[in-house]
Structures are given as C-alpha cells and as structure tokens.
Amino acid sequence: MTRRSLLALTAAAPLAAPLVTAAGGPAAAAPAAVGAAGPTAVGGERLAQGGVQVRGATGLPRKLTARAWLVADCETGEVLASYQAHQRLAPASTLKMLFADTVLKKFARTERHTVTEADLAGIPEGSSLVGIQPGTTYTVEQLWQGVFLRSGNDAVHVLAHMNGGVPRTVAEMQAKADDLQALDTHVVSPDGYDHPGQLSSAYDLTLFARHGLKNDDFRSYCATRTADFPAGGRKTFQIQNTDRLLTGSWGLKTYGGLIGVKNGYTSHAGNTFTGAAVRGGRTLLVTVMHPAAGSNAVYEETAALLDWGFTQGGSAQAVGTLVEPLSEGGARAGSASTRQNAQGAAGASGAAAHSPSAWRLLEGGAGTVALLAGGVWALRRRLRKASAASGSAASGSAASGAASPGAAASGPESSASGPGSRAAAAGSRPAAGSEPAPGAPAAGESRGRHRR
C-alpha cells in the first residue's frame, strides 16, 4: 500500500464511520420502536407521550406495574387516563376480541357445524383448548362459548375454517383493525398465539372491546360465567369463564357490575386483560397489559383502575378519545406514516433475533473504507506517479503502521455502545417478549405455552 493509499484510507474512514453508527442505531433502538406511537397518535397527541396521562383528577392507584394501561368511558369514548397507550406489545388471547369483531356476525347462533380433522389442523402446540372433537356437531353459539369462556384455540380454528380458512380470516382481521383505526395492531394468527410480529396496544384492545360490546351476542358471550359443552354423543361437561373478576376464582372476589370482556396469557405476553364494568349507569373500559408479576396482578390492577374511574375519575378531563370506525363515519385519524411505523415495529419485533451484530456492522464499514480508499488511490495514481524507490519506502512505512487505523476505528464503536448500554440499564423497558412471563396462571387453568 502506498503512502497516498494510506492517506486516502485515513480520509475515507470518517466518511464510513457514520455507516456503522447509522446501521447500528436502529438495531439498538428496536425496543423503542415497538413502543413508538408514530408522529400523529390516534386518539390525541397526549396518548403518544410517555408517562402517565391524566388531567383534572388525582388519586390514581400507586402500585401499577403494567407496561401499558388505559381507562376510558365506553359511551363517550373519552380516555380518562393512560400510560403508554400506544406501546406495541404482544396481546395474547385478548386479540380474540378482534377475531369476534370480524367473524361473529357472519353465522347465526343456531347454525350447526360438524367438526372435521381439517378444521383442527394447524393449531399451535401448547394451545389452550376447550376440547372440541372431530365428528361432533356443535352450534355456533357453543363454538363462541369455547372462544370466550375457555379461550379455546380449537374453537377459533373451527370458526376460522367456517369463515374460509385461517389466512383469509387473518386478512379480514387486519382489515377490520384498519377500519377500527387500530393502527398499532399487526395480526399474524386469529387466536393471539405467540408469533413474531403479532402486536397490539392498550389503546387498540380498548377499541376492540368497545366495538364488540355494541353487539348483543358479543356482550352476552363475554358475560357468561358457565356453560354446558358437548362431550360427544349426548354427554356434556361444564366449562367456566377464565375471567377471574367475573367468576371470583383463584382468590379474587367478583367485581361488582363487571360485564366482561377478555383476558389473555402467553409466556411471551405475560398477562393481558380488557375489562368493562357498569356502575350508576356509567360504563368504563380498562385495559392492562404486561404487569410485572403475579397471575392475579392483571385483575387487581384492572379493578383498582375501575375503582378510580368510578370515583376520582369522575372529575377527570379527557386526555384523548377512542376514535370511531371509518365504516361508521369516523374521521380518519393519524396518517399514512402512522401505519408504516406500526408495520415497521411489527417487523422489527419479529426480526430482532436476526439483527446484525456490531462486529458485522463494523466489518461492513471497513469494507466501505477499503473500497473508497482503492478508488481514491486509483484516481490519484493516474494524475501523479511516484518513483519506484519512494513508492517502495512509503509502502514499507504504511505496512509497519497498518494496524493503527483499525485499532483506532474500534475505539469509537466501543465507546458509542457504552452509553446505550447504560441507558438501557437505567430505565428503558425491554421489547415485547424479551422478558420472562410476569406470572403464569394457577396450575390447572391452562395447557402448555399458550394460555388465556
């Protein structure tokens, strides 16, 4: 390498250094992207802001550990208080509310369907099941009871096949989310099972619940505590709703006035829940996602927020609003970039495990440096030729110090990663699914990795 090549390499290094920083930046910031709300937040700008959002009221529960929560008036759509309303997190079985919003009206309650092996194909291993058997005939009402009471993925898949198949149902669910203006939601499966990129938010789940409660069948199913379910032949067995605030199970008392709607649990999402209750003629919605620990925490924090909403929350001024569906005359909220950000966040979450390492990025930057240096050297060689002797001497000098630029280049990379690591340790939350489950349901409540 000539002296001029070395000079060109030194000059080109600063140009290539930003390539390492730029490529490494998004990978390091992926968790933040999952929680980003986009430049225009649906429902109001305050809902895009971090931290607790409340105005005109005090007394919010102090011991809230959820990564996101929201309290809203079901009738007016006013958001009374929220925390990280648009943070995109794994929804677990609360996504079944969107499934019901999409499919429920398509089949009469009394319609009968005999289940085949094909209807049950493709159910993920470890799914929660209500116990549907091939060859047995069920009414649509019984299938929906399996969905709402036991969060049965087998019931979801049977209804999805009746609807034309899982892929078609997923596409229709995404279209329904778009119509409801639930722009934080990316649907991968109809049942809420853990899949890379399957995301929603406290805001969107509240939209799904509010829309569903306008339907009498939806409202009836989510309020049902127990039901008799076919066991083959003329036999039946009783199923019980896994919503602990509705049934008062696992050490919890029933919440007065509760009317549903849906709970969820997976090892990826932890516990999630959207509940609705009526008191004094007022209906409130509360969504709680990913509390820190304990299988009852999601219910306890929901009950605490409902209590606040019915008391001190009565004086709260809206910090946002639940938007209306586009198909029902709702004004279009957000922007195209909001949807693009939502899809990008879903992709970032699903591909996080495959992100390039800092060393790979550094290798790419070094390759860019080499190409730039070679081009500059070739150009200058045409303009000026050095003597063979001086060229040889310069080459020897460059060879003796060739390791220095590489060592120097690794310094900024190491120091740049330090502050980011300290910032993450100081208080940033992990991306959805990167933490262990906050608290599994009590033994016997569910099967395998996917739970209600």
- pLDDT per residue as tens digits for the range 81-125: 999 999 999 999 999 999 999 999 999 999 999 999 999 999 999
What is the average per-residue pLDDT within 24-36?
33
Asked if 151 is an active-site residue, the reply is yes
The DSSP letter of residue 254 is: P
- For 62, the 3-state DSSP assignment is coil
Question: Is the model's pLDDT at 129 over the cut of 60?
Answer: yes
The predicted structure's pLDDT at residue 333? 87
Separation of alpha carbons 242 and 244, rounded Å: 6
pLDDT of residue 154: 98
pLDDT of residue 268: 79
Residue 344: per-residue pLDDT: 52
Quick: pLDDT tens for 390-419: 443 333 333 333 333 233 333 322 323 332
The catalytically annotated residue of 5, 93, 189, 295 is 93
Identify the pLDDT of residue 200.
Answer: 98
Nearest-CA neighbor of 30 among 438, 420, 418? 420
- DSSP H or E segment with residue 263: strand 258-266
CA distance to 94, 122, 173, 178, 258, per residue, from 284 (Å): 17, 37, 25, 24, 10
pLDDT of residue 334: 66
Instruction: Report the alpha-carbon distance of residue 70 to residue 295 in Å, rounded.
Output: 20
Higher pLDDT: 443 or 217? It is 217
Confidence of residue 269 (pLDDT cuts 50, 70, 90): confident
Query: Is 128 a residue of the active site?
Result: no
Per the document, the length of the chain is: 452
pLDDT of residue 345: 47
Question: 326-371 pLDDT, tens per residue?
Answer: 999 999 986 544 445 545 545 544 443 333 333 333 333 333 333 3
Instruction: Judge whether residue 205 has pLDDT over 50.
Output: yes
User: Which residues, other chains included, contact 411 with Cβ-Cβ below 8 Å and sequence gap of 6+?
Assistant: none
**Do β-strands 226-232 and 270-279 pair in parallel, antiparallel, or remain unpaired?**
unpaired
Q: Is the pLDDT of residue 430 over 70?
A: no
Look up residue 50 and give its amino acid: G
Is 106 an annotated catalytic residue? no
Mean pLDDT, the chain, rounded, equals: 75
Higher pLDDT: 410 or 318? It is: 318
Burial class of residue 64, CB neighbours in 10 A (0-12, 13-18, 19+): middle
In whole angstroms, what is the distance from residue 155 CA to residue 146 CA? 6
| Single-letter amino acid, residue 371 | L
So what's the pLDDT on residue 388? 39
Residues 6+ positions from 422 with CB-CB distance below 8 Å: none
* Residue 389: band (very low, low, confident or very high) from pLDDT cuts 50, 70, 90: very low
DSSP string, 404-447: HHHHHHHHHHHHHHHHHHHHHHHTPPPPTTSS--S-PPPTTS--
Q: What is the mean pLDDT of residues 285-305?
A: 94
Q: Which of 378, 402, 406 is nearest to 17 (CA)?
A: 406
Residue of 5, 151, 189, 446 marked active site: 151
Choice between 443 and 386, residue whose per-residue pLDDT is larger: 386
| Max CA distance (Å), the chain | 101
* Of 228-232, 237-241, 336-340, 377-381, the least confident: 377-381
pLDDT at 267: 84
* Token reading at 384: 């000026």
Lookup: tokens for 373? 């240096």
Least confident of 110-119, 123-132, 437-446: 437-446
Strands 450-451 and 270-279: unpaired
d(CA 18, CA 354): 22
Given the residues 82, 96, 127, 128, the one annotated as active site: 96
Distances (CA, A) of 241 to 31, 253, 297: 34, 14, 18
Residue 260 has pLDDT above 50, yes or no: yes
Q: What is the mean pLDDT of residues 146-162?
A: 98
pLDDT at 399: 33
Side chain identity at residue 123, one-letter code = I
pLDDT of residue 36: 40
| Range of lowest pLDDT (281-295, 321-335, 379-393) | 379-393
Per-residue pLDDT, 217? 98
* Contact (Cβ atoms closer than 8 angstroms) between residue 349 and residue 432: yes
CB 41 within 8 A of CB 70: no
pTM confidence score: 0.71
Per-residue pLDDT at 134 exceeds 50: yes
| Nearest to 440, CA basis, from 323, 248, 295 | 295
Q: CA end-to-end span of the chain, whole Å? A: 65
Q: How confident is the model at residue 215 (pLDDT cuts 50, 70, 90)?
A: very high
pLDDT over threshold 60, residue 312? yes
Digit-coded pLDDT (tens) for 164-174: 999 999 999 99
What's residue 198's pLDDT? 97
Q: pLDDT value at position 347?
A: 52
- The torsion angles phi and psi of 269, rounded to 5 degrees, stand at -85, -20
Angle at 160 between CA 159 and CA 165, to 5 degrees: 140
Q: How far apart are CA 441 and CA 452, in angstroms?
A: 8
